[in-house]
C-alpha cells in the first residue's frame, strides 16, 4: 500500500498525532509514560508526554516547529516505559520508530 507523502515547508509549524497501538496487557497511552523524538537526518527535537496536547481525550498531539529540524524525511521515535516487574526499576524501556510519510522541504 503506497501512502502519499505529505510535504511541509521548512520553518512551518504543524501538529502531528502520536499514537501507540502496540502496548502490552491492554494498557492505554494514558497509563504509560512515554516521550517522542522527531528526527530528520541527524537533527532531532524531543517532547515529553506532558508537552503533548489533548491527553484528556486519549489523543496526543505533538506541536512541531519544523524550523528546528533539517530538511528530509520525518521520523518519530517513541520511547515507552512499560510497567514490568521483571526489571529492577519496575519498567521495561521500548523504542518504536515510525516513518511519518512527511517530507520537510
Domain membership flag for residue 38: yes
Counting the structural domains of the chain, the total is: 1
Domain membership flag for residue 25: yes
Q: From the CA atom positions of the chain, what is the Rg in Å?
A: 15
pLDDT value for 3: 74
Domain membership flag for residue 12: yes
Domain membership flag for residue 1: no
Q: What percent of the chain has pLDDT over 70?
A: 98
Asked if 103 and 78 touch (Cβ cutoff 8 Å), the reply is no
Domain hosting 68: range is 6-104
Higher pLDDT, 68 or 57: 68
Domain membership flag for residue 20: yes
Which stretches of 1-105 are assigned E, i.e. beta strand? 6-8, 13-18, 33-40, 43-48, 60-65, 72-83, 91-104
Give the CATH number of the domain where residue 69 resides. Answer: 2.60.40
Report the chain's mean pLDDT, rounded to a whole number: 92
Amino acid at each position: 500500500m503506497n501512502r502519499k507523502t505529505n510535504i511541509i515547508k521548512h520553518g512551518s509549524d504543524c501538529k502531528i498525532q502520536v499514537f501507540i497501538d502496540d502496548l502490552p496487557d491492554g494498557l492505554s497511552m494514558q497509563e504509560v509514560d512515554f516521550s517522542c523524538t522527531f528526527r530528520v537526518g541527524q537533527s532531532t527535537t524531543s517532547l515529553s508526554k506532558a508537552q503533548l496536547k489533548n491527553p484528556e481525550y486519549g489523543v496526543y498531539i505533538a506541536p512541531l516547529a519544523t524550523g528546528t529540524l533539517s530538511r528530509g524525511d520525518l521520523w518519530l521515535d517513541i520511547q515507552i516505559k512499560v510497567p514490568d516487574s521483571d526489571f529492577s526499576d519496575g519498567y521495561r524501556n521500548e523504542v518504536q520508530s515510525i516513518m511519518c510519510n512527511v517530507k520537510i522541504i
